[in-house]
Chains A and B, each alone.
Chain A
Amino acid sequence: MTGSPNVERPSMDADVVCVGFGPATAGFLTALSQRLSEPNAPPLESAVAPGLPPQVLCYERADDTGFGVSGVVSQARALRASFPEIEKNGIPMAAPIGEEKVLYLLDPIGASRRSIALQLADECVRAFKSALRFKREALELPWTPAFLHKRGGMVLSMGQFMQWVGAQLQSQGTVQIWPGTPVSQALINDKNKVTGVRLLDQGVDKNGLAAEGFTPGMDIHAALTVVGDGPVGPIGRQLDECFGMPPDCRARDWAIGMKFVVDLPADTPLKPGTILHTFGFPEPEIFGFLYTHPDRVVSLGIFVPSWFDSPVRTAYRYLQHWMLHPYLWRLLKGGKLRSWGAKSLAESGRAGEPQLVGDGYARIGEGSGSTNVLTGSGVDEAWATGVQLAEAVAELLKAKQPFTKENLEATYVRRRRESWVDSEARAAANARNGFQHGVIPGLFGMALAGLTGGRLFIPGKSRRPWDRIPSLENYYRDRIPEAEARAIRDDCYARGIAAHGALMDRAGWPAIPCDGRLLMSHQDALLVGGKVNAPPGYADHVAFLFQDRCRQCETKLCVEACSGQAISPGADGIPNFDRDKCVHCGACLWNCASPSPEDSERSAISFRAGSGGLHSAEN
């Protein structure tokens, strides 16, 4: 939603404007703020307010700093470089990493879809369980490769960490962070230079048309626009569409990460810093995690990847089955939901790296392809790219050089290419290609790449998400007769609800025994955990652009995969979107079975700038 171009808009000038306050921008602002506060360094001067330091603004979509980001286990190399005594800074919910375990979860129910090879592996594990570290239907791997470990690092709540960083930055007074202020678009002039950003219109109806209290979004002009709006951010995607991706770079692999933050029972055996990684259940393609914070609190959740070829891949239902696995439930039983959230993860890593810089802009963080897909590490890398850009900006400001593509290439991109972020990302670039063929080739491919520094890997060509989604009938062909599967779906859609619940019930998944503490309805998780909210006066940020395609689409994966049940079946086959429930995870962007007729690399769903979402700062 960019509002009417004919509307007279207020404008403001700054030196640097940042889009999104995630770890990358936090790293950028921290490093820049430290430089601006350095008493012995030559002063840097604003071009728009001569005599003053550079005017640096950051606009964040979420209603507060620390909303809508996820928990993390990190080696914290870059974080520690910025905060050498980070362990002593009293960041809530932070703990040094302790014991790390990788668990292969067997299926205690018999409902998951396991290949013959995996079924054989399961039988072997069960046959030799007395000789293995096998407990409660889980095999504790006796050895895990070093690249999976985060030894020496930290368990963090990103919400709490970001609140802490935000407070540090604001108290310095050198930069300003404005949450609750979505950016609708980058301003690009006729010379393809980014000249700033436009804030989202306020006081509009769901279609973006002026309504009571209409306030056109302000234009913020800046010499440099820093884009750190994450993997599904509208500004990053606008730049991709405008300037194109580099040759051979495609952001096609995704995952949805859904998590709970849980207060554990008083007698929990889990110690702060304990980390569990799981694979194998509830479906072989779904990976799980459990990170232990101080004071009997854990962050736990699952990742549902785009290469899990299911037309009904619901993260919420699967997360509950995962928690109920006997190995995990004995740790969680008696616990209580404290917070809940979901976000999309860019799983292409360096293969999805966009144009990092151009005239007037630079991209940092996860949306710039910084995530290491071998080690599953993203926050530290994102932070590092922000710091690298801050150093480049300080260098250019000091030399009074403009933020041209060439200058940013010579400063920011050079730093990034020379850093551990890039060298490790190169080694990881092909590590996950094997997952294009399935879980077992994927795991072998990761091991190969990890143990050989990326020299060996299992090849595999990534496919667009919509090219690999099977039909409902095909997916359930060995479980549910075709006509019955269709009838279940049609009945659910006629009632305006997603079909995955009924289909999973029919396919053998047991009902979730709601306890009102950890096991609860999806809507209660939104309200109790996510505290989801949407302020009035903003347009719908999810739109179904090509409605003929929606009418023809029988695989409404957007409905099935929606993390907040914000998308539901609608009349005439066109889904409904309820902004009040959206957590801005962006899953709809890639859980769409139809490509855009205008660009086969994009889906038929538009995920624009929007306001609201999670109101929890503990994720």
Chain B
Amino acid sequence: MNTAYQIVVCAGIVPDPLQTLEPVTGPSGPALKNEMMLPSVLDPWAGHALYEAANLARNCPGSKVWLVSLSPKVKLQQVMMTVAQKAPFELVPLDGPSSGFAEAAEVAAALAQAIEAIAGLDKSRLLVFGGWESASRGAGATMQMVGERLGIVDQFQGVDELKLHPDGSLEIAERIEGGRHQISRCAGLPALLGWATGNLPEPKNNPQTGMANMRGAIPALQKAKPVKLAGDGLSFASVALPKQLRETKIVRNAAPEDIAKEIVAWIKS
């Protein structure tokens, strides 16, 4: 495994999953109430992609990770305060909307353009990573369109595992229905992988990594290219949160069968 990979991770930001979200209609269409005031995190699906990329780069000397993000730069900068401690990468920020109401094709076009503009990009060594879906929109379309625009035909979605073979081929486990995985063999690069959860835990914070990342990230954020998404032809028939009924109960160390019994009883009721 001596290939030096160029790994580009596409990652948006989303409101911290613990926040209470409320859709509202703003002057430019649907939006989330107080979205800019809510704390944000790296999209969890893309987060897994970043951790996998960092792990791959660590195991393959000479490899490098870029993190390309289309997000409001003030919020992205805030997210970087936490994410930058997790793994070494070079940030490629695009200053624009990151909500679930942005049009996937436009987002993909902006991301692909930013990736093409990375100096020294060598597609024969390129792996494009991203989230299979997004926490702000479950369409799962953006990464496919990024790949199409970059001319990458080997695409895999719902990836949980990537193995690299000495002959340069890739072995990829994709989620399929029934809780099983489909194993594919890909002859070589470039390839695009939309990650599901992968198998790696969230890396621990490393202050040195954070400092090194931020030395490059802050100037990059200051120069972030503004991206305006036109949203032409986009309309929303309706926007609503799923109906939900909260019944809080915090119980520790309950046996799985007891939890199952209680859920069944609740459904029957």
Question: Taking beta carbons and an 8 Å cutoff, which residues of A are in contact with B?
Answer: 10, 12, 57, 59, 63-67, 92-93, 160, 163, 166-167, 170-171, 173, 176-181, 199, 202-203, 213, 215, 218, 220, 338, 516, 521, 523-524, 527-528, 531, 533, 537, 578, 580-581, 615-618
Contact = CB atoms under 8 A, between A and B. Distances in A.
B248 A178 contact: no
B180 interface: no
Contacts of B37: 92-93, 160, 163, 617-618
Nearest to A182: B205
Contacts of A173: 218-219, 222
29 contacts: A57-B211, A64-B78, A67-B39, A170-B78, A171-B74, A171-B222, A173-B218, A177-B81, A178-B85, A179-B81, A179-B82, A180-B82, A180-B85, A180-B205, A181-B207, A199-B207, A202-B204, A202-B205, A213-B201, A213-B204, A516-B246, A524-B246, A524-B248, A527-B248, A531-B20, A533-B18, A580-B250, A616-B19, A617-B39
Contacts of A67: 39
Contacts of A57: 207, 211
A35 to B, nearest CB: 18
A180 B36 CA distance: 20
A72 to B, nearest CB: 16
B16 A203 contact: no
Contacts of B38: 617
Given A173-B219, A213-B201, A167 B74 contact: yes
A220 B207 contact: yes
B147 interface: no
B252 interface: yes
A523 B250 contact: yes
B207 A178 contact: yes
B36 to A, nearest CB: 7
B205 A615 contact: no
Contacts of A179: 81-82
A166 B78 contact: yes
Interface string B224-250: 000000000000000000000010101
Given A173-B219, A203-B204, A531-B20, 10 more contacts: A57-B211, A64-B39, A170-B81, A176-B210, A176-B211, A178-B81, A218-B206, A578-B252, A581-B250, A615-B39
B221 A171 contact: yes
Nearest to A180: B82
9 A-B pairs closest in CB distance: A531-B18, A173-B218, A215-B204, A202-B204, A615-B18, A617-B39, A64-B39, A523-B248, A92-B37
Contact of A163 (B16, B78, B85, B210): B78
Interface in B3-46: 16, 18-20, 34, 36-39
B208 interface: yes
Contacts of A65: 78, 81
A613 to B, nearest CB: 11
Nearest to A202: B204
B77 interface: yes
Interface string B69-92: 000001001100110010000000
A63 B219 CA distance: 24
A10 B78 contact: no
Interface residues of B, number: 32
Interface in B188-222: 201, 204-208, 210-211, 214, 218-219, 221-222
Q: Which residue of B85, B219, B250 has the most chain A CB atoms within 10 A of its CB atom? A: B250
B45 to A, nearest CB: 18
Given A531-B18, A615-B19, A171 B78 contact: no
A160 to B, nearest CB: 6
A578 B18 CA distance: 19
B248 A531 contact: no
Interface in B160-209: 201, 204-208
A64 B248 CA distance: 25
Contacts of A167: 74, 77-78
Contacts of A218: 206-208
A181 B85 contact: yes
B23 to A, nearest CB: 15
Contacts of B74: 167, 171
Given A176-B210, A178-B210, A180-B205, A64 B82 contact: yes
A34 B210 CA distance: 23
Contacts of A203: 204
A558 B119 CA distance: 59
Given A10-B208, A167-B74, A199-B207, A531 B16 contact: yes
A528 to B, nearest CB: 6
A67 B34 CA distance: 16
Contacts of A12: 207-208, 211
Nearest to B208: A12
Nearest to A580: B250
A215 B205 CA distance: 9
A12 B207 CA distance: 8
A580 B20 CA distance: 19
A537 B204 contact: yes
Nearest to B38: A617
Contacts of B36: 92
B152 to A, nearest CB: 33
Nearest to A173: B218
A338 B248 CA distance: 17
Nearest to B82: A180
A615 B16 contact: yes
A537 B38 CA distance: 26
Contacts of A578: 252
Contacts of A178: 81-82, 85, 205, 207, 210
Contacts of A64: 16, 39, 78, 81-82
Contact of B214 (A92, A176, A181, A616): A176
Nearest to B83: A180
Contacts of A213: 201, 204
A213 B221 CA distance: 32
Contacts of B201: 213
A387 to B, nearest CB: 22
Given A178-B85, A524-B246, A617-B37, A171 B208 contact: no
Contacts of A521: 248
A215 B77 CA distance: 26
B20 A66 contact: no
A172 B85 CA distance: 19
